[in-house]
Amino acid sequence: MIENPWKTQSVRTVYENPWIRVEHHDIINPAGKEGVYGKVHFKNRALAIIPIDQNGFTWLVGQYRYTPDEYSWEVPMGGGPIGLDLLESAKRELKEETGLTAGKWTEIMKIHTSNSVTDEVGFVYMAEELTEGETEFEETEIIQVKKLPFKEALDWVMEGKITDSISVAGILKAARILGY
């Protein structure tokens, strides 16, 4: 195992809300020099779901994202509070955003979303044996749900129509698993 070459001298919270904490770290870098580092700590784990039905269709969700100030097509996803079961949180997110429930769940990847500035970790599941139902959007969500062939979602990734990092990685991993 490789030893951590970074040494933390002090940490202080600069900002905090229910979802994140921004920290200022005084450090000694690997060259032995004093420096600073900023860290965004996430209070939830990112969860993404690739639903696949028996005919090779999947579901995407579209919504306007505040931070990049643009509309985004993504796989169904959300946050799973640290300390709660990941799979139960994934099931909740799939139902909430698409109305789907699944009889078969497979974790297909773990991903760090931007490991130079955040400790956020994401998990991607493939959901199969699907049953359709009613969505349960949160009050802050205005979501468009789109059912399409999985191959078309893969094409959207390759054409740059899907840019969310967890969606891109999850769709590419699912494509490999599904033999595309």
pLDDT mean over 140-169: 95
Name the CATH architecture for the domain at 44-178. Alpha-Beta Complex (3.90)
pLDDT mean over 23-46: 96
pLDDT mean over 101-125: 96
> E strand or H helix at 38, and its extent?
strand 34-42
Question: In this predicted structure, what is the pLDDT of residue 139?
Answer: 78
Give the model's confidence band at 75: pLDDT under 50 very low, under 70 low, under 90 confident, else very high.
very high
pLDDT at position 140 over 80:
no
DSSP result, 102-124: EEEEEEEEEEES-TTTB--EEEE
Q: Where are the domains of the chain?
A: 7-42, 44-178
Amino acid sitting at position 139: E
Question: In this predicted structure, what is the pLDDT of residue 136?
Answer: 83
pLDDT at position 155 over 80:
yes
Question: In this predicted structure, what is the pLDDT of residue 49?
Answer: 98
